[in-house]
Structure 1
Amino acid sequence: MGTHVIKMPDIGEGIAEVELAQWHVKVGDLVVEDQVLADVMTDKAMVDIPSPVHGKVISLGGQPGEVMAVGSILISIEVEGAGNLKASDQLVKEPAAIKEAAPASAAPKVEAAPVLENKPAAACRPAPQAPVARDADERPLASPAVRKHALDLGIQLRLVQGSGPAGRILHEDLDAYLAQGTQNARSGSAPSGYAQRHDEEQIPVIGMRRKIAQRMQEATQRAAHFSYVEEIDVTAVEELRAHLNEKHGATRGKLTLLPFLVRALVVALCDFPQINARYDDEAQVITRHGAVHVGVATQSDVGLMVPVVRHAEARSLWDSAAEIARLATAARSGKAARDELSGSTITLTSLGALGGIVSTPVLNLPEVAIVGVNKIVERPMVIKGQVVIRKMMNLSSSFDHRVVDGMDAALFIQAIRGLLEQPASLFVE
């Protein structure tokens, strides 16, 4: 038997240190080739670290939240044969010490169910069990279908014990969790809604949540934020969207409002180049961009990510729609590449149906503008002396006052308003 050492890889872009975000294995686990061992976090993306070998984990080189140098030992695996461990390689910690020192968040989500030889599959399924205690920022292993099923059932995946490989949560585990909840309710063991609670939970700010916190704090400290809100009648553009979906939806795909907003940004920025810009406040240089690279804020299980629709100025409605959908799926599944999460020149953020009336979005530095979309509501409006029902929506946008003057910001948003209220003008060159 030998030892195969996996070192923290060089992620690229001149990065010398990488944060260890999450372990997917623990000491003693058997792993197979291409199995994801850990997630590491750069300034721009989460990166999976797969195993290049089959073997048994004998030591872990760090704990979640620890910043590790590129080239330091990440994990050691016992393998058949000689392995690749050199005499000069020093383990960061002894396996026993790692095993004892690792916090709950460094352990695997749950113990995998034991595999029983020559037994039917049903015999391997776990009996209903009490909720699992996981850290709030842990991301349990589960397929997208299971995640959607849990969302539909109102189940928090971090409370469910998984019976699949490496603790992966299966559909059967959701059924077992629901069954246990029903059993508790019938037996009266569930706590009363009026019972006193004295529990506390400490959640380490690591991984993506740490990066988001750092970027939000930096943005609010460095930029001179100001917000501007404008009300927009989106009745006409919604009618156009419904017409296009009815006519071309089956062959070209369905359109949401976002591609129209992207197009409105592109057209309006032609007259406001100072807003399609990035400000290097250390070098005191403003770079105005001809290309419009639109960041689309996307919520994922690990936090807010901003994948980038590149060269939006050259895309049709359906091209933009397809790219937005592709990037959103990649971001939510953790598969977005680093270059898909950087380089935006202006950001579009939307809370969808939960968009509220007004919001004050935080700039995505070093950009100087972010356009926030609030929800669409039907309201009575007075038009030419008549009260009519119209679909109304607010744009709540923020700007860097060091670069963008208040009048320019207002005129820019009003230009977007005019384009959306007269949607034919979106396509007039």
Structure 2
Amino acid sequence: MAQVLEFKLPDLGEGLTEAEIVRWLVEVGDVVAIDQPVVEVETAKAMVEVPCPYGGVVTARFGDEGTELPVGAPLLTVAVGSAAEPSGDGPAAASGAEDSGSGNVLVGYGTGAPPARRRRVRPEGLKAAVAVPAAPVVHEAAAPTPAHTPTPAPEPVPGPVAVVSPLVRRLARQHDLDLRRLAGSGPDGLILRADVESAIRSAAEAPAPEVAPSLAAPASSGERIPLRGVRGAVADKLARSRREIPDATCWVDADATELMAARAAMNAVAGPGTPKVSVLALLARICTAALARHPELNSTVDQEAREIVRLPQVHLGFAAQTDRGLVVPVVRDAHARTTESIGAEIARLTEAARTGTLTPADLTGGTFTLNNYGVFGVDGSTPIINHPEAAMLGVGRIVPKPWVHEGQLAVRQVVQLSLTFDHRVCDGGTAGGFLRYVADCVEQPALLLRSL
């Protein structure tokens, strides 16, 4: 006899508490193997495929594409056991609840089972083959629309609200709906999602009360855009940075003519098929050399212990704009890499950001950030520090400008460099020394030979 098992959205790590369904990879009636990816979700860190720990037949899915689910919410149910086993040469489901799952595995990592060949089971056949438990769990997402329209009670009902689903509570909050005024249509008066949606529709269809023109409030016509996913995570981090970090910014103009000439020379002698050295890779290498001289800026602050923690490795983040919002991929152990190695890793991470395949590990653990906002055609900025780091180097566009060179006015390639730093970890002298060294390396790239 088959058994219906529920698979819930697992803990995705990195402190993530929710995820948005981007794309279902299976449909009701499909046969899935253990650890086969069944849904693609977007978290505040990245997009990941979630594997199902059970093998069998998908009997229900919970949540449409675009729905945001909290960790622990039901994703789908799978019928496992002998009665749900596919016939022929398709993959066999496990023979029981104990043998049908891979256990708690990390997202994106499974037990090595081969991917299943998708096979549709007709609903009428599934209904006959699967023995549903006598007292199944009721899910709001799968509950039918109640026959009657729930009407708000005249007064709030005393006592706890009969709601178990966090999605129902969130939906009510988004529409300013008082759950205590609803009579649920579920078992024992449980308020279901369908009840809330019906109440929302009723409120929208109700005629607006007539108000004297002089007393009428102005209509709200602004567009509302939810702060969630990557954009929501960025908003939270930037707000926290502004609240907790007493930042300051210093900047300097630098003549980048020699740096651009050095880059052109490097790429001219590169062999066929050798990747070109980018300006960002050169600036990243300059940053690691500057941090070796000013380690105060490669640190973080433990506010509770009131301690500055200097970090031994440089994990260099770089800001990248994507369709999903601003992300900061991290080049790990940048201090131990050559310019070529840094450039190759930047290229890999940039492509992953473009395709939306960055992993949470690619986006966490940074100790210092390089922000090349010059690609947007601007000269300067005062960037917000990427919490919990202590500093960020900003780079404007490199453009021809009048410049005094060797006592003569000339047209040179000029760039503005800015450093935003946490004033708790160092004073202006240290920050100025770091920025001046960066500017000197930009103007005289030969200085880097001392640290190679």
- Matched residue count: 331
Q: Note closer, same or farther for the CA distance 1:30–1:304 as it changes in structure 2 (3 Å cut).
A: farther
Contact 1:62 1:74 in 2 (8 A): no
1:232 counterpart residue number? 254
Contact 1:20 1:63 in 2 (8 A): no
Q: C-alpha deviations, 1:106-134, integer Å up to 9, x for none?
A: 9xxxxxxxxxxxxxxxxxxxxxxxxxxxx
Pick from 375, 378, 385 the counterpart of residue 363 of structure 1: 385
Q: Distance in 2 between matches of 1:56 and 1:381?
A: 69
Q: Distance in 2 between matches of 1:285 and 1:355?
A: 39
Corresponding letter in the other structure for 1:81: A
1:152 counterpart residue number? none
Q: C-alpha deviations, 1:359-405, integer Å up to 9, x for none?
A: 11111111110011111110121223322110011112211112221
Cα displacement (A) at 1:225: 1.6
1:11 counterpart residue number? 12
2:360 counterpart residue number? 338
Q: Is structure 2 residue 374 aligned with structure 1 residue 374?
A: no
Matches within 5 A, 1:147-158: none
Q: C-alpha deviations, 1:59-106, integer Å up to 9, x for none?
A: 415895755234x4223367881786985873531414599x999xx9
Cα displacement (A) at 1:35: 5.8
Contact 2:8 2:76 in 1 (8 A): yes
Q: Is structure 2 residue 84 aligned with structure 1 residue 81?
A: yes
Cα displacement (A) at 1:45: 3.9
Q: Distance in 1 between matches of 2:46 and 2:27?
A: 29
Contact 2:26 2:38 in 1 (8 A): no
2:299 counterpart residue number? 277
Pick from 39, 42, 45 the counterpart of residue 37 of structure 1: 39
Matches within 5 A, 1:116-265: 201-248=223-270, 250-265=272-287
Corresponding letter in the other structure for 1:93: E
Cα displacement (A) at 1:292: 1.5
Cα displacement (A) at 1:57: 6.6
Gaps of 5+ in 2: 86-92, 98-129, 147-164, 172-219
Q: Note closer, same or farther for the CA distance 1:414–1:32 as it changes in structure 2 (3 Å cut).
A: farther
Q: Note closer, same or farther for the CA distance 1:256–1:56 as it changes in structure 2 (3 Å cut).
A: same
Percent of aligned positions with the same letter in both sequences? 33
Gaps of 5+ in 1: 107-197
Corresponding letter in the other structure for 1:60: F
Q: Note closer, same or farther for the CA distance 1:403–1:340 as it changes in structure 2 (3 Å cut).
A: same
Contact 2:8 2:71 in 1 (8 A): no
2:315 counterpart residue number? 293
Cα displacement (A) at 1:202: 2.6
Contact 1:359 1:396 in 2 (8 A): yes
Q: Give SS of 1:201's match.
A: coil
Q: Distance in 2 between matches of 1:267 and 1:40?
A: 36
Corresponding letter in the other structure for 1:333: T
Q: Note closer, same or farther for the CA distance 1:340–1:78 as it changes in structure 2 (3 Å cut).
A: same
Q: Give SS of 2:296's match.
A: coil
Q: Distance in 2 between matches of 1:26 and 1:328?
A: 26
Q: C-alpha deviations, 1:342-375, integer Å up to 9, x for none?
A: 1111111112431401111111111110011111
Pick from 413, 424, 427 the counterpart of residue 446 of structure 2: 424
Corresponding letter in the other structure for 1:207: G
Q: C-alpha deviations, 1:41-66, integer Å up to 9, x for none?
A: 25x44433256768667341589575
2:121 counterpart residue number? none
Q: Distance in 2 between matches of 1:62 and 1:224?
A: 43
Q: Distance in 1 between matches of 2:259 and 2:251?
A: 19
Cα displacement (A) at 1:12: 3.8
Cα displacement (A) at 1:3: 4.7
Corresponding letter in the other structure for 2:366: S
1:307 counterpart residue number? 329
Pick from 59, 62, 67 the counterpart of residue 60 of structure 1: 62
Pick from 421, 427, 435 the counterpart of residue 405 of structure 1: 427
Q: Distance in 2 between matches of 1:341 and 1:327?
A: 10
Q: Give SS of 1:248's match.
A: coil
Q: Note closer, same or farther for the CA distance 1:252–1:9 as it changes in structure 2 (3 Å cut).
A: same
Q: Note closer, same or farther for the CA distance 1:350–1:273 as it changes in structure 2 (3 Å cut).
A: same
Report the structure number with the largest CA radius of gyration.
2
Please, what TM-score do these two structures have when normalized by structure 2?
0.65
Contact 1:295 1:347 in 2 (8 A): yes
Q: Distance in 2 between matches of 1:26 and 1:317?
A: 40
Q: Give SS of 1:270's match.
A: helix
Q: Note closer, same or farther for the CA distance 1:251–1:316 as it changes in structure 2 (3 Å cut).
A: farther
